A and B are shown apart, each in its own frame.
Chain A
Amino acid sequence: MAQEDSLFGVHPAAMQLQRRRMELIAANIANADTPGFQARDVDFRAVLASTQQTAAAPAQTHAAHLGTAAGPAPGAEPGTVYRLPVQPAADGNTVDVQVEQAQFADAALRYQASLNFLDARIKSLLTALTGQ
């Protein structure tokens, strides 16, 4: 997971997380009629914990450095969880399209919020660079 950037703060990591979330929700909506499909989402708390863990862990700057046992496995996507079904279908499908659409809108809004923050940051940097 990406660490906090000195230039852009938490927003690149937040956008990555929201994009991953939107992918999962898009998959849920795509499989709304697939028998036995179980809806999934990202557990924000778990991702935050793994990001903080990575940020707090000592950096490995040399191949001979020992790894930290506590860190997450490389390449693993932390925090993917199954959604608790309110009313599962008779065929085992647990996708509730209305819930998914609401969650997708939520993720899109958060993504846009991060976009706005980044946009403002880039504009203020440009002002500082050009002095106009």
Chain B
Amino acid sequence: MSSFKIFDIAGSALSAQSVRLNTVASNLANADAVSGDPEAVYKARLPVFKAAAEPGQPDAAGVRVLGVVESQAAAEKRYEPGHPLADAEGYVYAPNVNVVEEMVNMISAARSYQSSVEVMNTAKDLALRTLQLGK
């Protein structure tokens, strides 16, 4: 039993939440990247989280990013015949990124990241104090 498992658990949360922040940044950056082809247009990316139990240690589980999936929602169809990328019927396709949803996602990810940093700080302080026993 090592006392550093807390760091593994909190560290897995930090990396998972930063993957989530990365996808949010990517989605927001590409929110206005329109295309003339509904298949080729950018699709919102979403990370999939799963609890990852340590082998032989079912109690404490970190979190793992299983993968990043693309949203299956339909692209937004806009009638803009003057647009250089418009298709034969005058439509362009905007990504299925919901900016409000992404902002909420960003705040939630930042909060979860902060919580795990707090956990790590407390664990570090306690480990240091344990090392200084009797001094």
Contact, CB under 8 Å: A30 / B130? no
Minimum distance in angstroms from A117 CB to a CB of chain B: 11
Selecting from B60-68, B81-89, B93-101, the interface stretch reads B60-68
Query: Once bound together, how far apart are the Cα atoms of A26 and B51, in whole Å?
Result: 12
Contact, CB under 8 Å: B115 / A27? no
Residues of A within 8 A of B111 (CB): 97
Selecting from B23-31, B36-44, B72-80, B118-126, the interface stretch reads B118-126
Query: Once bound together, how far apart are the Cα atoms of A35 and B12, in whole Å?
Result: 16
Fill in one digit per residue for B1-44: 1 if any A CB lies within 8 Å of its CB, else 0: 10101100110110011001000000000000000000000000
From B3, B108, B115, B133, give the contact of A101 (CB < 8 A): B115
Contact, CB under 8 Å: B133 / A122? yes
Contact, CB under 8 Å: B9 / A23? yes
Interface size on B, residues (CB 8 A): 34
Contact, CB under 8 Å: B122 / A104? yes
Instruction: Say yes or no for A48: interface residue by CB 8 A criterion.
Output: no
- Say yes or no: A22-B134 contact (C-beta < 8 A), given A29-B13, A31-B51, A34-B49: no
Closest B residue to A18 using CB positions: B126
Residues of A within 8 A of B115 (CB): 29, 32, 97, 100-101
Query: Once bound together, how far apart are the Cα atoms of A30 and B126, in whole Å?
Result: 19
Query: Once bound together, how far apart are the Cα atoms of A23 and B62, in whole Å?
Result: 10
Contact, CB under 8 Å: A27 / B116? no
From B63, B108, B118, B134, give the contact of A122 (CB < 8 A): B134
Contact, CB under 8 Å: A101 / B118? yes
Query: Once bound together, how far apart are the Cα atoms of A25 and B119, in whole Å?
Result: 9
Contact, CB under 8 Å: B13 / A30? yes
Query: Once bound together, how far apart are the Cα atoms of A111 and B108, in whole Å?
Result: 30
Residues of A within 8 A of B123 (CB): 22, 26
Closest B residue to A97 using CB positions: B115
Contact, CB under 8 Å: B116 / A24? no
Closest B residue to A105 using CB positions: B122
Closest B residue to A32 using CB positions: B112
Task: List 5 A-B pairs, minimum CB-CB distance, nearest first.
Answer: A30-B13, A122-B134, A23-B60, A34-B49, A26-B9
10 cross-chain CB contacts under 8 A: A19-B3, A26-B116, A29-B13, A29-B116, A30-B13, A31-B51, A31-B63, A108-B122, A112-B126, A122-B133
